[in-house]
Amino acid sequence: MADLFEEKAQEWDANEMRRGLSTAIGNTILQRVDFQPDMGVMDFGAGTGLISGHVAPKVSNITAVDISEAMLEKLAAKPELKDKVHIVCQDITQQPLDMKFDVIVSAMAMHHVEDTENLAKTFALHLKPNGKIALADLDSEDGSFHPEDVEGVYHHGFDQDALKTILEQNGFVDIEFVTAHTVNKEGKEYTIFLVTAMKQ
Whether 165 maps to a domain, the answer reads yes
Give, for 119, the enclosing helix (H) or strand (E): helix 116-125
**Hey, what amino acid is at 121?**
K
Give, for 25, the enclosing helix (H) or strand (E): helix 16-32
Q: At how many degrees (to 10) do helices 160-169 and 116-125 cross?
A: 50
Taking the C-alpha atoms of residue 34 and residue 38, their distance in angstroms, rounded to an integer, is 12
DSSP structural state of residue 147: -
Is-contact 132 45, C-beta < 8 A? no
Count of domains in the chain? 1
Whether 32 maps to a domain, the answer reads no
Whether 148 maps to a domain, the answer reads yes
So what's the pLDDT on residue 172?
98
CATH value at residue 126: 3.40.50.150
Look up the domain containing 95 and give its range. 91-199
Is-contact 72 66, C-beta < 8 A? yes
So what's the pLDDT on residue 165?
98
Query: What's the distance, CA 133 to chain centroid?
Result: 10
* The model scores a pTM over 0.95: no
Over the chain (200 residues), the average pLDDT of each successive run of 10 is 52 67 95 98 95 97 95 92 94 97 97 96 98 97 87 92 98 98 90 97
Helix, strand, coil percent content, the chain, rounded in steps of 5: 30, 30, 35
Taking the C-alpha atoms of residue 123 and residue 87, their distance in angstroms, rounded to an integer, is 17
Taking the C-alpha atoms of residue 49 and residue 106, their distance in angstroms, rounded to an integer, is 11
Whether 60 maps to a domain, the answer reads no
Whether 108 maps to a domain, the answer reads yes
So what's the pLDDT on residue 13?
55
Up-side HSE of residue 48: CA atoms within 13 Å toward CB? 18
Whether 136 maps to a domain, the answer reads yes
